[in-house]
Amino acid sequence: MEFIFVAGIVLGGILAATLLANPNPVVVNAALVSELAKYGITNYSNLLPVDIINWPALFTLKGFLMMVVGGFMIGFGTRYAGGCTSGHAIMGLSSLQWPSLVATCCFMAGGFIMANLILPFILSL
């Protein structure tokens, strides 16, 4: 049974990559382009910014902080909160669970702090 699940994941990825691929360049708002240029992000040829998400960048301080430490923090937060953001926000809130409301508010506050305070600092390293 697990093989069918794994095969479905692989097949879904293949279908999405072939049937849903969009050859057009990513369109980015002009205000965002000017702000990202301050951090050295100028290449918009992929969905992820190639300037910071690549193998050579992983071995820099900025890359290590963003990928390795960030991945650890996501795993730790998921374990500490007793579930992921989607699980708490969709299932927990729809079943009116108080811990899910608290967890979702904390996830949102953490996301705002990360996006507006910590990430600009990391990108300016």
Q: Is the pLDDT of residue 79 over 90?
A: no
pLDDT of residue 10: 93
pLDDT at site 41: 86
Quote the pTM value.
0.56
Is pLDDT at 25 greater than 90 in this prediction?
A: no
Q: Reply yes or no on whether the pLDDT at 89 is more than 90.
A: no
Residue-level pLDDT at 113: 94
pLDDT, tens digit (0-9, with 9 covering 90-100), for 53-74? 888 888 888 888 888 888 888 8
What 3 state SS string does 24-89 have? CCCCCCHHHHHHHHHCCCCCCCCCCCCCCCCHHHHCCHHHHHHHHHHHHHHHHHHHHHCCCHHHHH
